Structure 1
Amino acid sequence: MDMKKRTTRRGRRSVGTLICGEAPTERRPPIFASVLVLMFLGSSVFSSAETSKVWKDWVSGKPVIPDYSWAGYKYGTEAIPDVTWEVFNVIDFGAVANDGKSDFDAIQKAVKAAEANGSGIVFFPKGKFLVAEKEGRKESIKIHGANIVLRGSGSGQGGSEIHQKHHYVPEDTTKKWTTPPVFSFETPGSGAYHFRLRESFVPVTTVVEAAKNGTFRIDAANASKFKIGQTIMLHMQNTAANDVFLKGLKPRDIFHEIVDNGVSVAEKHTVVKIEGNTLFLEEPLHTDINPSHGWKVYDYPTTQGWGVEDIHFSGNSPTPFVHHKDYIHDSGYFAVEMIQGKNGWIRRCRFTDLSHACYATGCMATSFLMNTVDGHQGHGNFNTKWGYGNLIGLCQDLSDIGSFHGCGISHEHVGGVIWRYESVGETKQTPRCGGPDFHAQFPYCSLWDSSVANLRNNGGASFLQPNHLVDLTFWNFEQIGEKIYHDYWNMPKTAEEKKDMYFGKTKIVYPNYIGFHGVRSTFNEDHLGIVESYGTPVEPESLYEAQLTHRLGDAPSWVLEAKSEWGKVKLMHKEAGQ
């Protein structure tokens, strides 16, 4: 069978049909003894690619894959704005570039002044600003107010640099992943992104009627306490829902959370209309809602309009990096985190010699665009977790051997998109790491779109696995580095499988591979979902762009403009890092 032409449907028992005219079936004989072997060279020219049948089916209305276009700033409907709010220059608050003294307090004062104003641009002129001149710092520079943007004078040579000399220290040093970032954007009273973090976090009401995946409404027991514009969280955890989100796969015994308590699902939404006890939502549901599973509705406060742009963040993270050695290696040098924001952004920034670049934690409709990680290897780079509809796009990892864990969507995130990401550092002589990283704790409905990376070193505690639930799609993914063995549910058995198993310990519910190409890879085909055009890219080149254009009726101008601008920023960052 021609693997470039073959399309199959796996693990979709609720659909019950296979693509490309194959007869409906529950199971069919595996190809090549249940192992799909892929051998191909490099990436193909997209101009010669054939139009994907999956795409044709989706456009015609067949629910073969989700609509992943609901991601990014304003869910892709608008460009990130060049805001013209009042400027608060850190120099006016006591910061002095290039003087070798701490600028931490001056920067915090500038932030507070902008917050008191109701909005503002905290501006950094050209030069190097210091935020960790003393050892043992435990606090971040905090931003709580809406519409606050940190703006530099460029992230290339001669621009604005914010430097972290010493590592920060977490409250509990045994929790190696909890070191605070230099800048922490936080919604007051945040913690709602994960219901377990606040014992006082109680539901407002419950869902009483079924709702379909892709629809925009829920029926509540009592909607009287909600208002238009309010952000809410729909949460459910129930072992009865395991079969839905695992598509019938049996959890392994070591997946203690899902075995003991059930899959935990948390979708964030915005109320746009209320009729009686029906709440109409801005964003589509990405799952069916079964009220018998115990869906609850929570208030979910968010803060609008956070931004970071045109800044070079640098640190002194340890080298060589040793995974889980201590909190210094794992998270001691961490630039920016946004917690429970909506319609925020980090763009045109560069992150050098850091444990982590930036996180979107519990955010909605937030974009990380045109950013670069470089220097020596760190723990991770860009990550979005606990949120809904966030976009990491036009970003690259130029670090020497790639971040230990690469670009990530994790921890109950829903509708996340990685768009045109490149882990170029992995192409060097010793490609060791990079991602994609789903870690664990039940993300679902994620897209890796037209990206280049190595399927290695996904993380996540085994008791919180699987790493990803349903509806993960790799679209025109280019595999680089060494060959990889993948088995998304079983553990490796043979010596060869164990030797090549870098991503093989990763447990994912029937991932879709459409237009996957690059170096030789080996998969257990029994645990794949949709399989189309292995070894050859497909059209459209970018699923995110195509679905967004389809939804809006026309291609948004910001996409073309961002891709054009990224070519210049990308070159600037590369030259600055040399």
Structure 2
Amino acid sequence: MKKLIFLFISIFSLVALNSCDKRDDIRKDIDDLNSRLDQLEANLPQFNEDISNYQGLLNGKLLVMGYSLSGNGDYTVELSNGETIHVCSGNPTEELPLLSIGEGGWYYTQDGETYPLMNSNGQQAPALGETGVTPQIRVDAQGMWEYSLDGGLSWLGNIGPANPGKGSAGTSIFTGVKVSDDESSLTFEWKNGDETLSKTISLYGGLALTVEYGSGPVAFALGESREFNVTQEGVENVVIETNTWGVKLDETKIRVTAPVVNTQGKEYEDNIILKIFSKEGYCRVVKIPVKLLTTTIDENSATAWQNFLFNNAENVLLDYSYAGYDHGESVPVDGFAWGYKVINVKDRMDKDHLSAREALIKILDENKLVRVSSTSATNANAKIVIYFPAGDYDLQPEGTSEKFPEIYGGNFVIKGDGAGKTRLLMNNPIGTSESTTAPLFAIKHTNSPSNVNNSKILATVSENAAKGSFSVKVGSTSGLSSGKWVQLRLRSGDDALLKEELGPIYNQKKADWSIAQQPGLSGSNEDGKGTNVMEFHQIKSVSGNVVTFYEPIMHEVNVAYKDYDGGWVIRDYKYFENVGVEDLSFVGKAITPYYHHGEGQDESKAWLYDSGYVPLQLNRVVNSWVRNVSFESVSEAITFGESANCSAYNITITGNRGHSAVRAQGSSRVFIGKVQDESVDSRGHGQWHGCGVSKPSIGTVVWNCNWGQDACFESHATQPRATLFDNCRGGLVRYHAGGAENEAPNHLADLTLWNLYVTGTTDEKGENFASDFKWWDAGNIWWKICPPIVVGTHGNAVTFSKEEGQVTYEESTGAKVTPESLYEAQLQKRLGYVPAWLNALK
């Protein structure tokens, strides 16, 4: 299309004698007019496409596959040919000749008047049926509207000038869309002169592909791969449209790989197009919005991360990427997808006229999961889903202090209809004292790994193994096989080892510290004294005398320390597997305001503050999970005890503030992710102890969690090691870590804080720890953390003590570093992509 400058030649000749300023004004007006006409012309392809789709809808040749509604009332409607039409807030365009279908065929409206659209023979162009034609429009060189009825072979005019001065540049044939109350159909409205016409079209159901990428666009570094969860319905074929992005799609996941070169030289956004087709050939378009950066994932990253990548002598980081269910590579399928028998608690209540507590105990007893009718019941392979439909279930009624039966089994799921919809109530504490209280649900294996009768020595380690390695050499491999879970153990009273374990805290040790005492037994149970390292591992292979684990060893193995029990040994480990709790809420009645250990309160009720309302503990389980669960007014939320590779994620804690949040207790490689702690009372915010660890836990990852601004992460003493707090938010105050005086230190080696966002440094007593923050204090018995690794601490300003031995490594205090998440980056490094479950959780 030519510009409109030639239309105004006569105008320029008339004003030739005028001032330069006036000529400049006229030229500006011409330029503006040209710009608006260009904008109008740019909308013509979409308008012509809308004309064709409009006709296809009314002819019944196109179906409506779906729709979306924007915040300003505009509809985007998906059609069965893979295209979309837009209805802009019920307002048709003002500058385009509005085409419509009415009685007799095609019409057009120009300047408020409606006329038949005529063909070259002077007859009205037909719209529907076999003889119907599809108009196209354009603007000719003189700025006049033209239309074609034969696919652009010939053009007709005489329908008026294109006037870009009116209205907006948007196009919209329809004047409105109404969705039926049951959302099964859409009614389209359009104008034909003064008449409003409409047609109702049913929504086609059963063709969908949903990609769980969160809120887009998703940013990718050069060459980066990410994996996203996918759900499909009725998809027969998929066509992927992208030139430079790598895309691999299967039934449940899609992996996207960014180009290794940014050809534009700047960050830019793009869409990956997936055209999905039903078996009838209907089409929908799915878009994944992406953004390509100009740097690689490791460029400009933290020095600590680069040292880890190169595995050089300066590296201080362990590999935490094996934490969680299935070593972090996936998450369990939905509870209903296991194929287990589903038992409906509400149905049982109604059928047998039982209370919720009675019905649940009966279900558990019938499936040999509790010891009610049998004193030896246990069921490692229950294969049931205990389903609580939406509603309230009082499992600890007012006046009932008796313990709920402990649950012994695996391969079962406790499932609701969603947090806030299914509510399991504790209206009374369990027990009457600290010694008699218990969790509501205690799901456990009875054989403790610390009982020497239940955890026989299977092999003695014969050679040293470095921290981060995967294999140990043993004297004998009898009883060891691929897939078996075992514990790698050391107990020692060697003082040289104690110096290594305590570092700069060694000179502060006291005789009554359990770690400083000689190990022994209390009956058949270990007494917990001396240096105590406990790692649970799954054997990947056995070759000769070498045992290789699926996971890295998180503590150096030095066979010189063999003063007790043969030194480093592999022992048996008894457990249950695949226990899930999901999609429900636990509701307690935690006392408010909260006082730690009931300090200063009635001594007879002090136990209620810390232990009165504890809904859930899982002990000696592997590959188990708690997800999409909320906790309201509880003393504690979740504890994983002596367990391995379990996950708790998408957890919320609300209501009255209590004692603790989610912890790994004497466990290996537990993943605790996306825990939002919003509990509160008049004295503070968040549980007294945030998410964290206690006892000989190792390899724990606390990812993207928050805790109160006047609280702290939990590090509850009794020899936890190698814990990663990754991209978390919360207070950084002393004395909220927890732990008895004789179980110090609060944490041993390899505590790692990565990109901690500090929300507060002042505790409930008003003491501010923002300046010269110490990780251990010779003058205080309650705060002793072995020198940690702190990288990217930001948020509220905090400075760490420069006293020698306070930190193992410090980088970028005051500013966030990349990668944002160490766990995510390590998974990316190990797998080559970020797993779909973690992308979805973000």
Q: Normalised by the shorter chain, which TM-score bucket?
A: 0.7 to 0.9
What residue in structure 2 maps to residue 180 of structure 1?
A: 438
For 2:304, give the aligned amino acid: V
Query: Quick one: distance in 1 between partners of 2:544 and 2:306?
Result: 39
For 1:348, give the aligned amino acid: N
What residue in structure 2 maps to residue 257 of structure 1?
A: 514
Query: Quick one: distance in 1 between partners of 2:630 and 2:300?
Result: 36
- Pairing 1:87-236 to 2, within 5 Å after superposition: 87-94=342-349, 102-113=355-366, 118-133=382-397, 135=399, 137-156=401-420, 159-169=421-431, 173-175=433-435, 179-187=437-445, 189-192=446-449, 195=450, 201-236=455-490
Query: How far did 1:324 drift?
Result: 1.4
The 8 Å contact of residues 307 and 344 in structure 1, kept in 2 or not, is answered as yes
Query: Quick one: distance in 2 between partners of 1:112 and 1:306?
Result: 17
- Pairing 1:555-570 to 2, within 5 Å after superposition: 555-563=834-842
TM-score by length of 1: 0.80
Query: Quick one: distance in 1 between partners of 2:348 and 2:545?
Result: 50
For 2:785, give the aligned amino acid: I
Query: Quick one: distance in 1 between partners of 2:500 and 2:831?
Result: 31
Query: Quick one: distance in 1 between partners of 2:454 and 2:572?
Result: 12
Query: Quick one: distance in 1 between partners of 2:597 and 2:585?
Result: 26
Seen in structure 2, the aligned counterparts of structure 1 residues 200 and 161 have a Cα distance that, compared at 3 Å, is closer
1:302 aligns with 2:587: no
Query: How far did 1:323 drift?
Result: 1.7
The 8 Å contact of residues 251 and 258 in structure 1, kept in 2 or not, is answered as no
Query: How far did 1:546 drift?
Result: 0.4
Percent identity, aligned pairs only, is: 29
Seen in structure 2, the aligned counterparts of structure 1 residues 349 and 96 have a Cα distance that, compared at 3 Å, is farther
- Pairing 1:356-367 to 2, within 5 Å after superposition: 356-367=636-647
Query: Quick one: distance in 2 between partners of 1:488 and 1:199?
Result: 39
The 8 Å contact of residues 508 and 778 in structure 2, kept in 1 or not, is answered as no
For 1:181, give the aligned amino acid: P
- Pairing 1:390-539 to 2, within 5 Å after superposition: 390-400=670-680, 401-423=685-707, 425-426=708-709, 432-433=710-711, 435-456=712-733, 457-481=736-760, 482=762, 483-484=768-769, 486-491=773-778, 505-525=782-802, 526=804, 527-539=806-818
The 8 Å contact of residues 505 and 784 in structure 2, kept in 1 or not, is answered as no
Query: Quick one: distance in 2 between partners of 1:216 and 1:282?
Result: 7
The 8 Å contact of residues 302 and 342 in structure 1, kept in 2 or not, is answered as yes
Query: Quick one: distance in 1 between partners of 2:347 and 2:576?
Result: 27
Residue among 308, 313, 335 paired with 1:58: 308
Root-mean-square deviation (CA, aligned residues, Å) is: 2.4
Partner deviation per Cα, 1:469-510 (whole Å, 9 max, x = no partner): 1111100001112342532222359xxxxxxxxxx9421111
Query: How far did 1:174 drift?
Result: 4.6
Query: How far did 1:200 drift?
Result: 6.0
What residue in structure 2 maps to residue 73 of structure 1?
A: 325
Query: Quick one: distance in 2 between partners of 1:251 and 1:417?
Result: 30
The 8 Å contact of residues 133 and 165 in structure 1, kept in 2 or not, is answered as yes
Count the aligned residue pairs.
487
Query: Quick one: distance in 1 between partners of 2:316 and 2:789?
Result: 10
Query: How far did 1:409 drift?
Result: 1.2
Please identify, of 209-218 and 336-345, the stretch whose mean Cα deviation from structure 2 is larger. Answer: 209-218
Seen in structure 2, the aligned counterparts of structure 1 residues 272 and 51 have a Cα distance that, compared at 3 Å, is closer
Seen in structure 2, the aligned counterparts of structure 1 residues 264 and 75 have a Cα distance that, compared at 3 Å, is same
State the secondary structure of the residue aligned to 2:343.
strand
Query: How far did 1:448 drift?
Result: 0.4
For 2:560, give the aligned amino acid: S
The 8 Å contact of residues 488 and 505 in structure 1, kept in 2 or not, is answered as no
Query: How far did 1:306 drift?
Result: 0.6
Partner deviation per Cα, 1:277-306 (whole Å, 9 max, x = no partner): 322211110111112221122101121111
What residue in structure 1 maps to residue 556 of structure 2?
A: 288
Query: Quick one: distance in 2 between partners of 1:317 and 1:96?
Result: 33
The 8 Å contact of residues 88 and 113 in structure 1, kept in 2 or not, is answered as no
The 8 Å contact of residues 135 and 168 in structure 1, kept in 2 or not, is answered as no
For 2:716, give the aligned amino acid: H
State the secondary structure of the residue aligned to 2:406.
strand
Query: Quick one: distance in 2 between partners of 1:320 and 1:279?
Result: 52
For 1:90, give the aligned amino acid: V
Seen in structure 2, the aligned counterparts of structure 1 residues 138 and 227 have a Cα distance that, compared at 3 Å, is farther
Query: Quick one: distance in 2 between partners of 1:61 and 1:310?
Result: 41
Query: How far did 1:514 drift?
Result: 0.4
For 1:252, give the aligned amino acid: Q
For 2:307, give the aligned amino acid: D
Query: Quick one: distance in 1 between partners of 2:800 and 2:447?
Result: 41
What residue in structure 2 maps to residue 313 of structure 1?
A: 586
Query: How far did 1:246 drift?
Result: 2.6
Seen in structure 2, the aligned counterparts of structure 1 residues 75 and 51 have a Cα distance that, compared at 3 Å, is same
Query: Quick one: distance in 1 between partners of 2:517 and 2:577?
Result: 37
The 8 Å contact of residues 477 and 517 in structure 1, kept in 2 or not, is answered as yes
Query: Quick one: distance in 2 between partners of 1:113 and 1:88?
Result: 11
Partner deviation per Cα, 1:124-177 (whole Å, 9 max, x = no partner): 001100111153534234332221111101113xx100000000017xx354xx
For 1:357, give the aligned amino acid: A
Greater Rg over alpha carbons, structure? 2
Query: Quick one: distance in 2 between partners of 1:363 and 1:213?
Result: 21
Query: Quick one: distance in 1 between partners of 2:663 and 2:690?
Result: 8
The 8 Å contact of residues 726 and 823 in structure 2, kept in 1 or not, is answered as yes
For 1:530, give the aligned amino acid: Y
What residue in structure 2 maps to residue 340 of structure 1?
A: 620
State the secondary structure of the residue aligned to 2:308.
helix
State the secondary structure of the residue aligned to 1:110.
helix
State the secondary structure of the residue aligned to 1:244.
helix
Query: How far did 1:547 drift?
Result: 0.5
Query: How far did 1:222 drift?
Result: 2.2
Seen in structure 2, the aligned counterparts of structure 1 residues 303 and 378 have a Cα distance that, compared at 3 Å, is same
Partner deviation per Cα, 1:314-371 (whole Å, 9 max, x = no partner): 0111112222132211111011111111111101100001101111111111110000
Query: Quick one: distance in 2 between partners of 1:253 and 1:492?
Result: 12
The 8 Å contact of residues 419 and 450 in structure 1, kept in 2 or not, is answered as yes
Using CA pairs below 8 Å that are at least 6 residues apart, which structure has the higher relative contact order?
1
The 8 Å contact of residues 102 and 132 in structure 1, kept in 2 or not, is answered as no
Query: Quick one: distance in 1 between partners of 2:645 and 2:453?
Result: 27
Seen in structure 2, the aligned counterparts of structure 1 residues 139 and 355 have a Cα distance that, compared at 3 Å, is same
The 8 Å contact of residues 411 and 578 in structure 2, kept in 1 or not, is answered as yes
The 8 Å contact of residues 190 and 339 in structure 1, kept in 2 or not, is answered as no
Query: Quick one: distance in 2 between partners of 1:489 and 1:468?
Result: 10
Query: Quick one: distance in 2 between partners of 1:518 and 1:249?
Result: 29
Query: How far did 1:418 drift?
Result: 0.4
Partner deviation per Cα, 1:76-111 (whole Å, 9 max, x = no partner): 1112311422211112332699x9x84112112223
Partner deviation per Cα, 1:15-61 (whole Å, 9 max, x = no partner): xxxxxxxxxxxxxxxxxxxxxxxxxxxxxxxx9x9521111111122
- Pairing 1:567-578 to 2, within 5 Å after superposition: none
Query: Quick one: distance in 2 between partners of 1:244 and 1:307?
Result: 39
The 8 Å contact of residues 390 and 415 in structure 1, kept in 2 or not, is answered as yes
Query: Quick one: distance in 2 between partners of 1:149 and 1:201?
Result: 27
1:86 aligns with 2:350: no
Gaps in structure 2 of 5+ consecutive residues: 1-296, 370-378, 519-529, 562-566, 599-605, 763-767
